[in-house]
């Protein structure tokens, strides 16, 4: 089993493990495939899908509020070749102040 909280800790000092668990639950079966468990931050279409899916539906963010969070998460993870979807979603929620919406 993947320890997603450990990966999140590479990018942020404090980790809300309940929020990590909520993201894992939200992602569900997508985490079982290597390709869909990762985020390609260089793919604008994928970022739009995250903005219109997770950011809008789970975090309640409109496009204008989500964009800075997408950029912030991508910037934090830019040195990482394989960006975990769970970690990216966590950093998006953290940077937009919406971690509490995951509880």
Return the CATH number at 55: 1.10.238.120
Say what the pLDDT of residue 2 is.
84
**Count of domains forming the chain:** 1
pLDDT along the chain (103 residues), means of 10: 92 96 96 95 97 98 97 97 97 98 94
- What is the per-residue pLDDT across 37-54, written as a single tens digit (0 to 9) for each? 999 999 999 999 999 999
Say what the pLDDT of residue 76 is.
97
pTM: 0.96
Closest CA to 93 of 83, 84, 80, 68: 68
Domain of residue 54 covers 4-102
Determine the 3-state secondary structure of 84 from DSSP: strand
Integer CA distances (angstroms), 22 to 4, 37, 38, 42, 93, in order: 11, 15, 17, 26, 12
């Amino acid at each position: 089993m993947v320890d997603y909280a450990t990966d999140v800790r590479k990018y942020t000092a404090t980790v809300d493990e309940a929020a990590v668990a909520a993201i894992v639950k939200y992602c569900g079966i997508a985490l079982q495939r290597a390709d869909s468990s990762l985020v390609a931050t260089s793919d604008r279409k994928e970022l739009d899908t995250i903005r219109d899916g997770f950011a809008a539906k789970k975090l309640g963010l409109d496009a204008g509020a989500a964009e800075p969070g997408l950029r912030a998460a991508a910037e934090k993870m830019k040195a990482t070749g394989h960006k975990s979807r769970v970690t990216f979603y966590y950093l998006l929620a953290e940077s937009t102040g919406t971690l509490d919406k995951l509880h």
